[in-house]
Amino acid sequence: MAEYRPVLDYGASTYERDFWLGQGRDYEDRAERWALRRLLPPSGGRLVDVGAGYGRLADLYTGHAQVILLDYSADLLRDARQRLAARPPLTVAASYYEIPLADGACDTAVMVRALHHAADVPAVLRELRRILRPGGTLVLEHANKCHLKAVLSYRLGRAPTPFTLEPKEFAYLNFDFHPEYIRRHLALAGFAVEEERAVSTFRLPLLKRVVPPRLLAALDGVLQRPLARFHPSPSVFLRCRAVGDAGTPPPGRPLFRCPRCHAPDLRPEGPGGLVCGQCGAAWPIIEGIHLFR
């Protein structure tokens, strides 16, 4: 039996959409897009966005031959399909601890604003490495435990030290991470970091009120690489390359694998699902969403 690990389920909540569309996050959205446009390969084969939510960033992936949006919430994926109806991506409802994609199925993986919900970071990174072919690209964002505001609060005696490596759980299944902790586990999982960017450095209410979001994001973008080694920002973006032989695709490079027995032998079962040829597990497709939960 697979090990149980809790996953934060947004379900039918509108929180994610409200967070981005109704709470003044235009600056953060622009700053993240600036980073992604420079870290992502402009084109390629198969790309998966893990923790894609309602598809906020999907318009950045149009240069890739196939786009997969993966999230635990089928309701958010339903929103994504409605938003992207002109060019609907493949949508998969599943846990990032048990990604139902075959070894080496993807050329590029993106994970933004999702790792901070993971209680077992090493397990998530191993799954991301497994589904990427050797030499594939991972663009990963993580919440930064020792950003400038946290350091200043510590120096003023108002908060505990942010310099320890262990993750900080500030709310249930919400974690901040030390950049070195993430880098160590990326290396253990089989990734080499190629570039780092400090993103959303100016995430301060006063600045966001007095400086137009477009201008603030442009300044953020110019400083993302120079500031990266100082880790001042609440978000860190990394571009990583998959190294070693892990993730070598099986013959024929199948797309899916069974979450129950891990066999890459899923076959269509009529119009409404897939069935595993090895263990017989059935995985439905409802409203265009592959359900692997």
1/261 Cα distance (integer angstroms): 10
pLDDT value, residue 15: 75
Residue 246: CB partners within 8 Å, gap ≥ 6?
103, 129, 130, 134, 190
Q: Residue 267 is inside which H or E element, if any?
A: strand 266-268
The whole model's pTM is what? 0.96
59/37 Cα distance (integer angstroms): 11
- Which tokens in the block code for residue 270? 């009529």
**pLDDT at residue 1 is higher than 60:** no
Q: Which of 204, 199, 208, 205 is nearest to 231 (CA)?
A: 199
Could you report the per-residue pLDDT of 235-260, keeping only the tens digit for each? 999 999 999 998 899 998 999 999 99
Q: Find out whether 114 and 57 touch, Cβ atoms under 8 Å.
A: no
Q: Which of 15-19, 79-83, 269-273 has the lowest mean pLDDT?
A: 15-19
Percent of the chain with pLDDT over 90: 89
234 φ, ψ (degrees, to nearest 5):
-75, -15
* The one-letter amino acid at 31: A
Place of tokens 């199925």: 105
Residue 258: CB partners within 8 Å, gap ≥ 6?
100, 264, 265, 266, 276, 278, 279, 281, 283
Percent of the chain with pLDDT over 70: 99
What's the mean pLDDT when you consider all of the chain? 95
How far CA 170 is from CA of 56, 79, 176, 214, in Å, comes to 25, 29, 8, 30
Residue 43: CB partners within 8 Å, gap ≥ 6?
63, 64
**pLDDT at residue 55 is higher than 90:** yes
**HEC readout, 232-266:** CCCEEEEEEEECCCCCCCCCCCCCECCCCCCCCCE
Q: Find out whether 219 and 200 touch, Cβ atoms under 8 Å.
A: no
